[in-house]
Each structure stands twice: as structure tokens, then as C-alpha cells.
Amino acid sequence: MTLKEIRDDIDRIDAKMLALLDERMEKALLARSFKANVTDSKREEEVLGRVARSSRCLAESEFTTDLWKRIIAESRAIQESKPKTVGFQGEHGANSEVALRAWDPKAAAMPCVEFSDVFDAVRDGLFDYGIVPVENTLGGLVGPVNSILINTDLKIVAAIDAPISHCLLAVPGADHREIRSAYSHSQALAQCRNFLARNKLEARPYYDTAGAARMIAQERRKDTAAIANRFAAEIYDLEIIKDEIQDAPNNRTRFYVIAKETSGQVGNKCSAVFSTDDKAGALFKTLEVFAKAGINLTRIESVPDTPGNYAIFIDFDGSDADPEVAKAIAAASSAAHGFRVLGCYNERKL
């Protein structure tokens, strides 16, 4: 084994340690809502005692204990600061987290495995908010999210329309001529198909774009790359071999911020969902309400609901605090089945 190989191993271990430290801090923050007080001396003593008994490293046990005391102190400080907790699907560095940072840079981003986990955690009060992608200019509807929105009681309290930029990422020092494959989510790979073909890179599907970046950072392989965004490159200390590698320039995603309660603010856009009878003119009858009121519809989408039935999603300009908009909502509620306003909110375009 050479010095370079040993140092590569150290870099891999450091990447894993940082990821685990982030995860520990996130769990500590979530524990806040279950505790009467931030400080729990008995629990801290249990943790320190276990660390002292289990320490098998070359460093003195006092070093390990002191290190954990610092970690506990930092966890306590994070709990006391009470940042907003916002769930998102994927690993840190995902496009949802980029949109979240634009909405609230001080919020604590909490990764989830599935979109349903985000909704469940917000509903159960574990997270203050969730952020989910609803549609993409290239990929269309994000099916799982829209399916959940049909029946959820959660409210949309904000929206972010963000550009999606893909980069080819590799470990520092990697020679781009030696890269043979690229890992990423299947949608990202599809959006970079021409770039991959030109550079003769094998597309390797992975569950998440940011997850691919994290994997590359941890394994430190120099013959593989990840396709993810600049933020993922930053947090995983990866080198951007090439940016803006997507085939189509207009790649944008809209994200909804969801919560248990409405924001209480006067928004500039509303979202609603409803269904209609399966007969000619039924949908038109509902949409005509908004046309007659001079209200601009910015989104009309149908999503499969129960077998043979579809839910209709609409977004429209205006606020439910506006008497004319409120009147149109009441008229649409009479014309359609289960007409429900999902939220009135402000939308930000990045």
C-alpha cells in the first residue's frame, strides 16, 4: 500500500464521518420536540459512558470522551436555536434542498427516503414544513407527489420555480479522460443523454442525483463521476468537470412548500384540486367560472385517482382574500366534485 492509497482511504473515511455527523445532528434536532427541556443530564451521562466503554481507537479514551462532549454541546446549541425543520426527498445536495435554501436559508433541511415520508412527517408534526417537486418542464408531472396531494390535508404555503442545472462531478484530481461512467437519477441521465453519448460515458442509474454525488465522494473512485448540481459538488467536495451538461436549456422545476396550517399571508397564487362527472362539458363548466371572472389559470393537469377517475389540479393567479376570487372559488365548488383549495401562497421564480 502506498502513501497515496492510504490518504485516499483517509479521505473516504472523512467523507463518511462528516455524513454521519450531519445525520446525528439532525436526529438530535428532531429529538427536541419530544423533550421537556433541551438539557437532559441523565441521557448525556449515558452517552458519554457508552463512548468511554466502547472506545477502541489508538487515541486516548479522554480524547474520545472530550470529542463527544463537544458533539453533545453542539447538538444542545442547535436544539436551543430552534430552526425550522423542513423535510425533502433525497440526500443532502438534492435540487429540493437548493430550492429550500432559496426559500429559507436558515431552515434545517431533513432528508427523507420517499416523498410520502415528507408528507407523513409534516402531518405528524415531526417537521415544520416539507418541500416537494410538483412538475418539471422536461419530465412533466412528478406523479407520486401529485397523487399524494389529491387526498392530503396539508396546505401549500409557498412555491419556488427553480432552474435545474446538471454538472459532471468527480473527486478532486480525477482525470476526465479516465472517467468511464456517470451515476445519477434516471431522469437526470435522460436529460443529459447527448452529453453522455458524445463523451462515451456509460449511464449508471442511481436512486438520487445527490446520493450519486455522495457515493462518489465516499468511494473516491477516479474512473466514475456523478451528475448532480453545483450545491452537491460544494458539500461533498467534488470537482466540477463540466457544468450545464443538460441537453435542453429550459429545464425548470416547480416546488411546493407544505405545512399543516395555512401561512396566514395574502398570496398571489392559489392551487386547487377537484373532480368532475365523466360527461361532455363537465370540466369546461368548472373552468368557465374562472374565465368569466377574468382569473388566469396557470396550470391545468389531470392525475389518475381511483380506477377510471381523474383528479384535476389547477393553479390560478390571485388571492382567496380577494372577493372576486372567493366568489369564483364558491362557484367552482358548486360546479365540481370535491373542489378543495390546497393553498393560497406567494410563488418565487429563481
Q: What is the pLDDT of residues 267-303, one digit of tens each?
A: 899 999 998 777 767 788 888 889 998 999 999 998 8
Q: Using an 8 Å Cβ cutoff, are 95 and 209 in contact?
A: yes
| pLDDT, average across residues 91-106 | 94
DSSP 116-138: HHHHHHHHTTSSSEEEEEEEETT
| pLDDT, average across residues 111-131 | 95
Query: 126 CB contacts (<8 Å, ≥6 apart)?
Result: 30, 33, 85, 87
What pLDDT score does 129 carry? 97
Give the model's confidence band at 241: pLDDT under 50 very low, under 70 low, under 90 confident, else very high: very high
Q: In this structure, what C-alpha cell is assigned to residue 255?
A: 416546488
Q: In this structure, what C-alpha cell is assigned to residue 270?
A: 392559489
Q: Looking at the DSSP assignment, which residues form a beta bridge with residue 310?
A: 304
What pLDDT score does 61 carry? 82
What pLDDT score does 280 carry? 66
Share of the chain above pLDDT 90, in %: 57
Q: What is the mean pLDDT of the chain?
A: 90
Give the model's confidence band at 4: pLDDT under 50 very low, under 70 low, under 90 confident, else very high: confident
- Between 314 and 266, name the one with better pLDDT: 314
Q: Of the candidates 48, 51, 49, which has an alpha carbon nearest to the alpha carbon of residue 73?
A: 48
Query: What is the edge-to-edge ordering of all strands in the sheet holding 202-205?
Result: 202-205, 181-184, 224-228, 167-170, 239-242
pLDDT for 187-227, tens place per residue? 899 899 999 999 999 999 998 899 999 999 988 888 999 99
Q: In this structure, what C-alpha cell is assigned to residue 258?
A: 407544505
What pLDDT score does 314 carry? 93
pTM summary value: 0.87
**Which residue segments constitute the domains of the chain, with CATH numbers given?**
3-81 (1.20.59.10), 85-163+252-349 (3.40.190.10), 167-242 (3.40.190.10)
pLDDT for 135-187, tens place per residue? 988 878 888 899 999 999 999 999 999 999 999 999 998 888 899 999 998 88
**Catalytic residue annotation:** 253, 255
Q: Using an 8 Å Cβ cutoff, are 216 and 225 in contact?
A: yes
What pLDDT score does 197 carry? 95
Residue bearing cell 466503554: 53
What pLDDT score does 253 carry? 92
Q: Using an 8 Å Cβ cutoff, are 270 and 340 in contact?
A: no
What pLDDT score does 140 carry? 81
Q: In this structure, what C-alpha cell is assigned to residue 146?
A: 401529485
What pLDDT score does 55 carry? 77
- Between 35 and 183, name the one with better pLDDT: 183
Q: Of the candidates 222, 214, 228, which has an alpha carbon nearest to the alpha carbon of residue 18?
A: 214
